[in-house]
A and B are shown apart, each in its own frame.
Chain A
Amino acid sequence: MTWERAGFALLAAGVAALPVFVSTAYALALLNIIGLYAIVTVGLVLLGCSGQVSLGQAAFYGLGAYGSALLSRGLGWSPWLTIPAATAAVAGVAYAVGLPALRLAGHFFVLATLGFGVIVNVLMVQLVPVTGGGNGLRDIPPLQIAGIRPATERQFYYLIWTLALGALLLARNITSHRTGRALRAILGSEVAAAALGVEVSRYKMQVFVASAAYAALAGAVYAHYIRFISPSPFALYASLFFLIMAVVGGLTNIWGGLFGAAAVTVLDQVIRAQVPRVFPRVGGEYQTAIYGVLLVVIMIFFPRGLVRGAIDLRHAQAHPLPVPGGTADAEPAEEWRA
């Protein structure tokens, strides 16, 4: 669609020009984190397009980070090699996880991914000789970009957002064409899709592996960007966080993934800064509560995401809906006349 292509060009131009206007280290760092989260979220939306939900994305994100960090530290490989290597390895892990997990229907698949996420996080904490346990891994080799090592914040910005826009474009293409039609068929009815010859389990596996690769890529870049990793950012809480981003954007809306990642990351910063001012004594748990409520409210009132929800709302105000089932009621009468 041409408007979509124009939108993408506009977005790319905006992303390219943004550092001219934004130059504080804080803002650039925030944009970099948004870019990384956007990659994870777009992967999650890709998965959502097949009607699946994962609560294990933080584990794939973490495996990408630990994988690339350990490879580059242990073997002395360049991060430019270990980032794709770790991504590919995590895709393999996702395939192995998917073999049993994708046999489960609906909610049980979600629980399986949640269990996987918990196991991975426990391993990060307990496998002290490999992962450094709770203390994490320090001195992760930095990336070298254009002869500068470690790469600057701004260089990372361009790297991360090139990857994010590429991820967005790939996901958009996957959800178009024949694969997109097959995914929407699976989302609509797995039974009907199979009756048309769509290999349901193969497509579900493909997008599951792709979503894990997205998360792993973001995690691997994160490791060489922050250069210190520990288990806590890859815990269940982070998986929930990614899922909220995807839900805010609309679980089957690729562009919404980008919006959701940006909106929730900014909201998170605001909450972290403002809530302790208003309630000086609250502990860290309030964030979980806020996100829990947010998730429930969106699922109830905007099941298609905030952007689509707002469009639907305006549309509904402009054109009041016909009574649901009204046409169906009229049908038998017509039949009698025939």
Chain B
Amino acid sequence: MTAALRVAALSRRFGGVVAVREVDADVAPQEIVAVIGPNGAGKTTLFNLITGFLPPTSGDVYYQGRRITGWSASRVAALGVIRTFQNLLLFGEATVVENVMAGCHRWTRTGLLQAALALPAARREDRQVYDAAREALALVGLEARGQDPARDLPFGQQRLLEIARALAARPAVLLLDEPTAGLSASEARGLVALMRRLRAGGVTFVVIEHNMDVVMDAADRVIVLDYGEKIAEGPPQAVQRDPRVIAAYLGEEDAAPDGTAAAAAAPAAATPPETRPS
């Protein structure tokens, strides 16, 4: 089967620093892949390279077998490869539902002229978009906040709002950058359940995630980055025991090949304390 997403020998340099180095990976359709790694490992840069926000220094990106290297961000998004941002990028002045309605751009068609003349098609589309936005809000449990200004939402709900906006785009591949940061434990569990449901409906997920409970729970496969290189890949349980992964999280010298206790401790140490249930 053609990979939903594939990167081949993908690299990105910033001056003398190599942020992403020769990364090869592919994501099967309807797979949930987690990308983990210490801070500064190049996870968000990898997202930027895939989604067209940064051109790679070398290497290629493929969507369903089609080479999309060097495409603009809006062109990549138009294909259905939709991302969210680690540092939320909401339209703060707009209401919650307006934010989500903006997400419907990809599958709607009204142009400048049709809008200028307020043709019936443009107004019909408005109703469609509004309904779709309400549906997306309901998926993340924000349907009651539709008319509130987006900036009035607490942080965790703003993150859910950004996910709802991405869902409104009807993505084929959804790249989520730390979707559970700032969510309560129950909200995070709800998000994992939502991802499973959407995956059953055909959506492919790539998720940068620090919360190891979420990774263990949600991911089919984990890709581990360290200093821009892919150092491990596989099912979550296997990756958790991988000595190279433990070394990346705890420091080079502590990698004991037989240290299963250390292995169990390592990802837990990487979990930000505020997302651990108390």
Chain A residues with CB under 8 Å of chain B are: 170, 173-174, 176-182, 184-185, 187-189, 191-200, 206, 210, 327-328, 330-332, 334-336, 338
Contacts and interface: CB of A to CB of B under 8 A. Distances in A.
B86 interface: no
Contacts of A179: 110-112, 115
B105 interface: yes
Contacts of B153: 327
A184 B102 contact: yes
Interface in B76-133: 77-78, 82-85, 89-94, 98, 101-106, 108-112, 114-118, 122-123, 125-126, 129
Interface residues of B, number: 55
B274 A176 contact: no
B77 A188 contact: no
A170 B126 CA distance: 17
B112 A174 contact: yes
Contacts of B169: 196-197
A192 B72 contact: no
A198 B115 contact: no
B51 interface: yes
A196 B106 contact: yes
Contacts, number: 131
Contact of B98 (A184, A198, A200): A184
Contacts of A180: 115
For B84, B115, B278, the residue with the greatest tally of chain A CB atoms inside 10 Å of its CB is: B115
Nearest to B187: A338
A332 B185 CA distance: 12
Contacts of B112: 174, 179, 206, 210
B217 interface: no
Contact of B155 (A173, A195, A328): A328
A195 B185 contact: no
Interface in B219-278: 274, 277-278
B277 A199 contact: no
Given A170-B116, A184-B94, A188-B93, A177 B102 contact: no
Contacts of B105: 178, 181-182, 185, 196-198
A185 B165 CA distance: 11
10 contacts: A177-B122, A178-B108, A178-B125, A195-B82, A196-B165, A206-B112, A328-B155, A334-B184, A335-B184, A338-B277
A212 to B, nearest CB: 14
Interface of B: 51, 53, 72-74, 77-78, 82-85, 89-94, 98, 101-106, 108-112, 114-118, 122-123, 125-126, 129, 152-156, 165-166, 169, 182, 184-187, 274, 277-278
Nearest to B122: A177
A178 B129 contact: yes
A336 to B, nearest CB: 5
Nearest to A172: B118
B117 A173 contact: yes
Contact of A188 (B94, B108, B123, B278): B94
B201 to A, nearest CB: 20
A210 to B, nearest CB: 8
A188 B91 contact: yes
A316 to B, nearest CB: 14
Given A184-B93, A184-B94, A335-B156, 18 more contacts: A173-B118, A178-B122, A179-B115, A181-B129, A184-B98, A187-B93, A188-B94, A188-B102, A192-B91, A195-B73, A195-B83, A198-B74, A200-B74, A328-B154, A331-B154, A331-B155, A331-B182, A335-B185
Contacts of A332: 274
A309 B77 CA distance: 37
A338 B112 CA distance: 48
Contacts of A336: 278
A189 B53 CA distance: 14
Contacts of A189: 89-91
A308 to B, nearest CB: 11
A250 to B, nearest CB: 12
Q: Which 10 A/B pairs are nearest by Cβ-Cβ distance?
A: A188-B91, A197-B77, A192-B89, A178-B110, A338-B184, A194-B73, A197-B106, A177-B115, A179-B115, A185-B102
